[in-house]
């Protein structure tokens, strides 16, 4: 059961990060009206919504003190997506920061 729950945490973080990626792609618009015409805006919103629903479901079965800190995995996905899909640079500082996040998330998960 715990494997399923922790897998759910990773998927929740993945969906949240993908939602942000789609919002980034929609963010080039100059007006709200043109933003509302972009499919990326709605895909991002849908992914955020599914991530939030999964978060609620996970909170039913797991401690709040575990679920909320584990959402920090979103930063790892975000760095991966920004590098491969947005061609952003990954610096030693970013890798170090994500390493600390991952280390903290593992410490919390182990209780």
Whole-prediction pTM value? 0.86
Q: How many CB atoms lie within 10 A of CB 56?
A: 10
Domain count, the chain: 1
Domain that holds residue 65: 2-110
Q: Cα(100)–Cα(56) distance, rounded to whole angstroms?
A: 26
**Tens digits of residue pLDDT in 16-72:** 999 999 999 999 878 889 999 999 999 999 999 999 999 999 999 999 888 888 888
Q: Cα(62)–Cα(66) distance, rounded to whole angstroms?
A: 7
């Amino acid at each position: 059961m715990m494997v399923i729950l922790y897998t759910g945490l990773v998927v929740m973080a993945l969906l949240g990060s993908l939602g942000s990626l789609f919002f980034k792609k929609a963010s080039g618009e100059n007006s709200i009206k043109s933003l509302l015409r972009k499919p990326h805006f709605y895909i991002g919103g849908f992914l955020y919504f599914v991530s939030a629903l999964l978060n609620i479901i996970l909170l039913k079965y797991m401690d709040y003190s575990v679920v909320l800190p584990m959402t920090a995995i979103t930063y790892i996905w975000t760095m991966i997506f920004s590098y491969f899909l947005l061609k952003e640079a990954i610096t030693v500082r970013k890798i170090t920061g994500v390493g600390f996040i991952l280390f903290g998330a593992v410490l919390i998960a182990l209780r």
